[in-house]
Amino acid sequence: MPPTLSGSRLPRRTAGAVGAVALIALGAAPAGAADPEPSLVLGQIGPIDGLRPDSRFSVPTSFTNTGTAALGKVWMSYSVTRGLAHTEVPSNCSRYEITDFDEEPSRSVVLCEFDQTVRPGVVYAPERPLTLKALDHALYDELRVTVDSTETGPGDGASEPVKGTGPALKLVERPDETPAAPGSSQGSGWGAATVKVTARNTADFQVSGARLKGRAGDTVPLVVKFTNAGPGWVLREIGAGATRIRVRMPAGTSVTKTDGFCKSLGSGTYECGTAQAWINEGGGGTYRFELRIDKAVPGAKGSVALAGQPRPFDVHKANDTADIVLDATGAGSTAGGGSTSSTGGSGTKTSGGSASGSGSSGTGGTATAGTAGTAATGGGMADTGAGPALPLAGAAAGAVVLGAGTVLAVRRRAARQR
């Protein structure tokens, strides 16, 4: 069952266990006198393939009470991911929405209550199957059907249930069908089945590169993007990323800051993932780095490319790769004249991802050395009238801090040796 449904089952089980212990302790009932537990098993539901967007399809479901006692009421739920929609809701059913959380995508749920006797060993099914619709962005979706002997309710993170207005739905016996055999959920009072639903649709994954500009010694921002241009959304296996993006840095550069969703593969190459196992149509990710131009290499070029799992749904391959072009000028070494620093110098990165400060300026994906950076290497604060006194004061302050740090380090070493 969905986490929001099964989550409410724990207190009920816990309460039952505590009650059983109390009865035994008080001698209120002899062992073996407890009521038999119900057991419901769903019939098999095969995968649904080849749907066309904007088409409708029915969901035939049946179940068997494999327990030993009749039930006076059962509940059935139909949960679908965001590429599918319910077409009608009977008056004995309610509909509610569950927002995405953790690694679970959002879902729409219809929960039906059947107030009628369900005898053991008999196959039951709704008198008419519920109908679903594949939406324009359907591609890889999931249907989850449950049958339960107790009402679980929407649970946390769900919208307020809305009662249906369609004709009431009831259960009918299917005497010609073979009853389901007891399954692994025997004695649990509920059964569930998860069905993969696939539509004939496409999704265009694409990446964008960048054009950088700067001098040897500069630190410049690099921003690359991944986008799902649709029309379909993509849902992968829960726990896996929707795709991966491989970023190869231009020659003559080194990375001073890495995006949190990326890891180094060595040799200036990084692989980036996605936060969830799904990507909505129009969604994607932005990955931010900071590069230090170590030396000017004529024609330096890197790349951005899609990687990871196969993408049979993506028929547009031309936008699966993009270039990172670097136009670097200056000496072939970072010694002298560097206008930015990865350790808090005059060119630092703001929270918005652009370089700021006197050493360099960044706009979009470019970084160019400014005149203020050149002045800083040859005269310091000439515009402020501070002259050489301020650098000397700064050096003195640095010496004090260094001395204090040395004393602190000695004390810490001494403390560790005790």
Torsion angles phi and psi, residue 415, rounded to 5: -65, -40
Query: H/E element holding 399?
Result: helix 389-416
Torsion angles phi and psi, residue 26, rounded to 5: -85, -10
Q: How far is CA 256 from the centre of its chain?
A: 27
The residue behind tokens 């936060």 is 275
Q: Are 256 and 290 in contact (CB under 8 A)?
A: yes
pLDDT of residue 180: 82
Answer whether 0.75 is exceeded by the pTM.
Answer: no
- β-pair partners for 93: 112
Share of the chain above pLDDT 70, in %: 69
The torsion of the CA quartet 296, 301, 304, 307, rounded to 10 degrees, works out to -110
Q: Average pLDDT for residues 112-125, to the nearest whole number?
A: 96
The rounded distance, in Å, linking the Cα atoms of 229 and 275 is 18
One-letter amino acid at 377 equals T
Per residue in 20-32, pLDDT (tens digit) is: 434 334 344 444 4
Higher pLDDT, 411 or 98: 98
Per residue in 225-279, pLDDT (tens digit) is: 999 999 999 999 988 889 999 999 999 999 999 999 999 999 999 999 998 999 9
Q: What's the whole-number average pLDDT of the chain?
A: 77
Structure tokens at 368: 């160019």
Per-residue b or e along 41-71, where b marks 16 or more CB atoms closer than 10 Å to that residue's CB: bbbebeebeebebeeebebebbbbbbbeeeb
Q: Are 136 and 231 in contact (CB under 8 A)?
A: yes
The rounded distance, in Å, linking the Cα atoms of 314 and 320 is 9
The residue behind tokens 């266990």 is 17
Q: How many C-beta atoms surround the C-beta of residue 310 within 10 A?
A: 6
pLDDT of residue 23: 37
The residue behind tokens 């986008």 is 227
